[in-house]
Amino acid sequence: FSVIFLFFVDIILICKGVDIMDLQRVNSILNNKEKCDVFYDERPVWIQGIDESHDVAKVGFVDNFEEKDVYIEDLYEKNLFN
Of the two residues 33 and 67, the one the predictor is more confident about is: 67
Helix (H, G, I), strand (E, B) or coil at 11: helix
Kindly report, residue by residue over 20-47, the tens digit of the pLDDT.
788 999 989 888 888 888 999 999 999 9
Q: Is the pTM of this model over 0.85?
A: no
pLDDT classification of 79: cutoffs 50, 70, 90:
low
CA 9 → CA 6, 21, 24, 65, distances in Å? 5, 14, 21, 30
Residues 6+ apart with CB under 8 A from 81: 17
Q: Are 72 and 57 in contact (CB under 8 A)?
A: yes
Burial (Cβ within 10 Å: 0-12, 13-18, ≥19) of residue 2: exposed
On average, the pLDDT of the chain sits at 78
